[in-house]
């Protein structure tokens, strides 16, 4: 699958999703927060339900970035409520702050074959 096909697949998954989780790396910098905040703007325009999370985000540091107040430093209790999880700017799952939840969700999906579990999308400009 080429880059354009991957981009279209990611877009289609996001547009069809009912509930989306946006995640950036732990102790986020302005780059990570603004990546999440940018997609929040798109999701708001599309009237999509979403949550945004970044472990260790310091309150008030990035208040110059629109939508940064919608990025919580508290992890969701479960990933099963989400149709899509978009991971930004993370070189590894360990940098998400919810690695064990992601791995558990992927393992359950692998073992059961059930498709209800979240679809994971990774967006990282470092690659």
The pLDDT of residue 126 is: 65
The residue ranking higher by pLDDT, 80 or 39, is 39
pTM of the prediction?
0.90
Residues 6+ apart with CB under 8 A from 60: none
Is residue 31's pLDDT more than 60?
Answer: yes
Residue 86 has pLDDT above 60, yes or no: yes
Token pair for 26: 């732990």
Q: Give the pLDDT score at 91.
A: 80
**In this structure, what are the phi and psi dihedrals at residue 104, rounded to the nearest 5 degrees?**
-65, -45
Q: pLDDT tens digits, residue range 50-81?
A: 999 999 999 889 999 999 999 999 999 989 89
Check residues 109 and 19 and name the one with the higher pLDDT: 19
CA distance 37 to 3: 23
- Domains of the chain in start order, with CATH, are 3-123 (3.90.1640.10)
**What mean pLDDT value characterizes the chain?**
91
Q: Which of 55, 54, 57 has the alpha carbon at shortest distance from 39? A: 54
């Amino acid at each position: 699958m080429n880059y354009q096909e991957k981009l279209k697949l990611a877009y289609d998954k996001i547009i069809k999703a009912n509930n989306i989780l946006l995640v950036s790396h732990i102790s986020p910098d302005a780059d990570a927060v603004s990546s999440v905040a940018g997609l929040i703007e798109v999701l708001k325009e599309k009237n999509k339900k979403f949550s945004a999370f970044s472990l260790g985000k310091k309150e008030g540091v990035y208040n110059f970035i629109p939508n940064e107040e919608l990025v919580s430093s508290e992890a969701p209790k479960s990933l099963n409520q989400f149709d899509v999880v978009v991971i930004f700017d993370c070189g590894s799952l360990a940098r998400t702050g919810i690695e064990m939840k992601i791995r558990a969700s992927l393992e359950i999906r692998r073992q059961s074959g059930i498709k209800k579990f979240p679809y994971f999308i990774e967006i990282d400009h470092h690659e």
